[in-house]
Amino acid sequence: MAENKQKICDLLIPVLRETRGLYNVLSLEYIEKSGLVYAKFASGGYKVANVDGDSGVAMIQDILKQIT
C-alpha cells in the first residue's frame, strides 16, 4: 500500500499546533521529487526536513527531529 505523504503531513499539523514547541506551524509541504518537507511558521520562517525514502512513520520522526 502506497502512503500518501502529503496527507500524513496535513494530519500532523493539528497535532504539532497543540505542542509548546511547534504551536506556530502553518503548513508542512511534501515535495515528492526532492524528498523534502517544508515547514512554514507563523513568523514567516521555514525549516526543511529531508524525508527521502522514508516510510510514513519514519517521515514523522524525521520531521520532528529536523524542525524542532
CA distance 46 to 24: 11
pLDDT at 1 (0 to 100): 74
Sheet holding 46-50: strands in order across? 25-31, 36-41, 46-50
- Among the residue ranges 18-22, 51-55, 59-63, the one predicted with the least confidence is 51-55
pLDDT band at 2 (very low <50, low <70, confident <90, very high): confident
Residue with cell 497543540: 18
Write down the pTM of the prediction.
Answer: 0.91
**Torsion angles phi and psi, residue 55, rounded to 5:** -75, 175
Summarised one tens digit per residue, pLDDT across range 21-36 is 999 999 999 999 999 9
